[in-house]
Amino acid sequence: MFIDVLGSVAGLLTTISFVPQAYQTLKTRETHSISLPMYIIFTSGVFCWMIYGFALNAWPIVAANVVTFILSASILVMKIRYG
């Protein structure tokens, strides 16, 4: 039981953590100190986690990574746009 709760908390935190970054970037349009390679690699990795979750029918992994993918992809698009 404790382990399941810990895994859910870990997944929730690492997923929602991108909300403040996406919000700040959307509001300020300032992306200078954000690393473009980081978001290219990270967004690709999260995409792989999504496919992995689908392949295993592990819906918690799919759900968490769909949200993270949308957030990190939006930060990536803003980084490309605002430089």
Indicate whether 80 belongs to the interface with its own copies (CB under 8 A). no
Beta carbons within 8 Å of 68's beta carbon, 6+ residues apart? 14, 15, 18, 46, 49
**Per-residue x/- mask for its own copies, residues 4 to 43, rule CB under 8 A?**
--xx-xxxxxxxxxxxxx-xxx--x-xxxxxx-xxx-xx-
Interface residues with its own copies (CB under 8 A) are: 2-3, 6-7, 9-21, 23-25, 28, 30-35, 37-39, 41-42, 44-46, 48-49, 51-52, 55-56
